[in-house]
Amino acid sequence: MSTRRFPSLDPDDIQLMTELESDATQIYKDLADKLGMSRPTVASKVRKLLDSDVIKIICWADPVALGYKQAIVRAKDNSTEIVGRGGAPARCFRTESLTVESSNSQTPYSAGQVAGLIRDIPTVAEFINSLVKMSTLISNQVTESLSQISQ
């Protein structure tokens, strides 16, 4: 059995991570000036933190800026498909259904959690009627059981 070894972090590493958390777009020279280190030291520390998986570089695209939110609103149920049925299923746009400016990607874009087709979701009136029907059945069963007990 292998034991995971955690990297040792010095106070400079902590300061560097704090600066990167506040603004990850800072250049090494600016970080070095703020932290009182040389630029090569900052570059080396960032590389060490990345290589040891202490920090990660993440890009998060804004779906509103990409027009994705409007595409979800316009989408029809038949323009989506369920993917990943084995593990964590998700409803995604079919590639031809979602066109986003400057996107050449064939990656499916998520369209929400899988909870059934929209046409399978009952209206409020249907839902209330089913609740009334179930409560009437339960009430009748309770009344019948009480009448048998009292006999």
Whole-angstrom distance, CA of residue 98 vs CA of residue 112: 14
Using the predicted structure, report yes or no on whether residue 61 has a pLDDT greater than 50: yes
Q: What is the predicted pLDDT for the residue at 125?
A: 84
Residue 73 has pLDDT above 80, yes or no: no
Tokens (6 digits) for 149: 């007990």
Residue range 1-5: mean pLDDT, rounded: 62
CATH level 3 topology of 1-59: Arc Repressor Mutant, subunit A (1.10.10)
**Mean pLDDT of the 11-24 span:** 92
pLDDT for the residue numbered 90: 61
What secondary structure letter does DSSP report for 101? T
Strand partners, 81: 92
Are residues 93 and 111 in contact, defined by beta-carbon separation less than 8 angstroms?
Answer: yes
